[in-house]
Amino acid sequence: MGLFNKLKNIIIKKEETDKESINLYDTGLEKTRTEFVSKLNILGHQYTKVNEEYFEELENILIMADIGVNTVFKFIERLKKRVKEENITDTKSLNEIIVDELFIIYVNNETLSDKINFAENGPTIILFVGVNGVGKTTTIGKLAHKFINDGKKVMLIAGDTFRAGAVKQLEIWADKNNSLFYGKENSDPASVVFEGLTIAETEKADIVLIDTAGRLQNKVNLMNELEKINRVINKFVPNAPHETLLVIDATTGQNGILQAKAFKEITNITGIVLTKLDGTAKGGIVLAIKEEVNIPVKYIGLGEGINDLQKFDIEEYIYGLFKDLM
């Protein structure tokens, strides 16, 4: 049984236990699916037989879905190889192979974990980075809500101290979630983090979520700031932060990939949160990020609601993209 059919069976089983998550992926990826699958269907009607023109058209469709040029070229090569080896001639049976190969591209026999690395002892410290306007503070608020619902004691620290309104915005989220909070405007971010962690330690917080500035214009300054914050965190909890999550707005497309590359140069990114995936028809960016920067996507935003930030699940993602072909 190919991955295509295995995936169908996995989703059928998941629908019995986690229907809400399946539905969120389904509706959240609707824009991409409608655009992507309709073009694949039209292509299948244009070309009933697999030939070079078909591959060229398919290449364009994949690039338009923001899967990324390098990823698409590799993917087409793999597809051509399978077509030759399995002697596939009609385009209809190729749809299953397309789903198979996109799944393989993401997984690629690697063990990139999409799970959060929780501390065995003491608080789990998660640092958030990303340019301004990507939804970083909202992401922190929604994640705090998730962790609190799981019975955790959560602390939010506003390390983005110089941007107007940033501290207040995070404080509003803390109030909404009944989280602990510490922030101080126009102060040294590392000092604010130090003072916040002192409170988190006293209050015995389980999870500490730390916001940071998003100024990429001067990478050296930001790198120094993040290094200083990391040193402060490490003094409190050895081998922390346990996660450094980069928040990217999916609607910015390939610009998001450039941000990922830039932040990867200045600090150790352990995972990506992809916001506003429901607001774009270019949901293929998930595959491009994996291929271009080799950092796992850990959460995706599939709507504006407080529960619409979901753990990333490659099976549900591929299902969300290709449901109409299954």
What is the per-residue pLDDT for 179?
Answer: 97
pLDDT per position as a tens digit, 124-160: 999 999 998 899 999 999 999 999 999 999 999 999 9
Per residue in 277-290, pLDDT tens?
998 888 888 888 88
Identity of the amino acid at 51: N
pLDDT in tens, 210-244: 999 988 777 888 999 999 999 999 999 999 999 99
Residue 106 confidence (pLDDT) above 80:
no
DSSP assignment of 12-27: HHHHHH-HHHHHHHHH
The values of phi and psi at residue 103, to 5°, are -65, -45
Instruction: Tell me the average pLDDT of the chain.
Output: 88
Tokens of 110: 């690697």
Q: What is the pLDDT of residue 320?
A: 84
d(C-alpha 14, C-alpha 21), whole Å: 9
Beta-carbon contacts of residue 140 (< 8 Å; ≥ 6 apart) = 128, 156, 170, 173, 209, 211
For residue range 85-98, list pLDDT tens digits in order.
999 888 877 888 88
- With bands split at pLDDT 50, 70 and 90, how would you rate the model's confidence at 270? very high
**Residue 172: pLDDT over 90:** yes
